[in-house]
Structure 1
């Protein structure tokens, strides 16, 4: 889902050819509304970003979605061992991966961990699939849709070895703070799907949101801070420095990492 607020790729790339009206862009690819209307109306922490799909991204979606993609329809429970082809493979859920460059680098650096990458941004989905194929990354699966439905209805209790939320939309206006993902209710749900000892890793360059994350995570009884001083963590080596993050640092932004363990 489009939690990551990094800018998309330059628009100068060739785009997919036009399609006939009402014809699905990707008949065997990601659905525009995979969960349909059978789920409750509620405030969501994301909004789809409308941007063009390049020819390369479209081709990756058409060829690779049936192999490595899945729609979050909320209608069935996922067997992660079957999904990744290895029942012993630990799986980390990443919510909001932008264009997928950091996800691909983490998957390449740790092939012994599966990454279930969730987003609703179609160009990013296609880009990540293309990267996975180019780099031979068999440990990536791309999920399309609402991560809350994925957690609540499609993942078994204690099934995740980790959860990553990098640079989610900060919703800076006060009236929009209720849309922020990291809230007590979200942590209640996440705690049921994370195995004991699993790591919840958040990162943001928006200081007020970082402070809120630290406050709600510290107050939650099922998470404990990995930092002895109870504060923010240094960026761990396994989280790559992205292009978007580097641009923010050049502008003087402060990036905060939070590493909490499920107890």
Structure 2
């Protein structure tokens, strides 16, 4: 149940429902791997997830919100076996593809959640428990009348900040210029966060360039990264 101190986020939608069926490979990966490393947010027991128990070890927890088709997520988890990497995504076929990619790379430090990130953070993640939160290329809702549907809003950023440990980071990336400006304004206004850089962050070499980012560049859109630190 939402406490009096929790931000009220009923108007924030952290995803858009998509159609589409799984491929044969995605379905096979789902059936074989999901029972051991995946959970439905709606089926979680009340209270915070015990990440140490779920992974079978204590380690810094990195949460990626909106893993899409898993191209970036699988590679980042594989490159950092020392962290407990958690991805939340609503798109079932995307999670199936992520399972395929992780299997191919031999990733063992990855756990998946299907459902709404707002519910996950508000009801199932303990305060100051995350080492990092990553939100790469969230739905830009490009039409002005739809901007209120964007994930990066003051209430949501406040919630994310409360779940970050001291010194933890919130890393955002987008290829839509006006959304990048909104992200910068919203995060800069959050008192619990400090911009690690003076404005945009240099593009980290460790963040993979996906085909979608390449397409954006071909269409003349520049990607912007932002990295904020929990004070």
Asked if these proteins are the same fold (TM beyond 0.5), I'd say: yes
SS, match of residue 141 in structure 1: strand
The residue aligned with 1:183 is: 153
Q: Which of 117, 136, 141 does residue 106 from structure 2 map onto?
A: 136
The residue aligned with 1:48 is: 17
**Bigger radius of gyration:** 1
The residue aligned with 2:183 is: 213
Asked if structure 1 preserves the Cα contact closer than 8 Å seen for 2:173 and 2:223, the reply is yes
Asked if structure 2 preserves the Cα contact closer than 8 Å seen for 1:118 and 1:147, the reply is yes
Measure how far apart 1:195 and its partner are: 0.3
2:216 matches 1:254: no
2:89 matches 1:119: yes
Q: Which of 61, 85, 103 does residue 30 from structure 2 map onto?
A: 61
Point out the structure with the larger helix share: 2
| Alpha-carbon distance in structure 2 between the residues aligned to 1:75 and 1:67 | 17
1:122-171 CA distance string (max 9 Å, x none): 11101111221221101111110000111011111111000000000111
TM-score where L is the length of structure 1: 0.81
Measure how far apart 1:251 and its partner are: 2.2
Q: Which of 192, 200, 208 does residue 240 from structure 1 map onto?
A: 208
Asked if structure 2 preserves the Cα contact closer than 8 Å seen for 1:161 and 1:198, the reply is yes
Asked if structure 1 preserves the Cα contact closer than 8 Å seen for 2:194 and 2:230, the reply is yes
After TM superposition, the runs of 4+ consecutive aligned structure 1 residues lying more than 6 A away are none
Asked if structure 2 preserves the Cα contact closer than 8 Å seen for 1:75 and 1:153, the reply is no
The residue aligned with 1:86 is: 57
| Alpha-carbon distance in structure 2 between the residues aligned to 1:171 and 1:207 | 12
Measure how far apart 1:43 and its partner are: 4.2
| Alpha-carbon distance in structure 2 between the residues aligned to 1:45 and 1:203 | 15
SS, match of residue 56 in structure 1: helix
Q: Which of 52, 65, 70 does residue 39 from structure 2 map onto?
A: 70
Worse-superposed segment, 69-78 or 122-131: 69-78
Question: Structure 2 vs 1, CA of residues 221 and 43 (structure 1 numbering), >3 Å: closer, same or farther?
Answer: closer
TM-score where L is the length of structure 2: 0.92
Note the residue ranges of structure 2 that are not aligned, 5 or more in a row: 1-8
| Alpha-carbon distance in structure 2 between the residues aligned to 1:43 and 1:220 | 17
Measure how far apart 1:42 and its partner are: 3.9
Asked if structure 1 preserves the Cα contact closer than 8 Å seen for 2:14 and 2:117, the reply is no
| Alpha-carbon distance in structure 2 between the residues aligned to 1:70 and 1:156 | 17
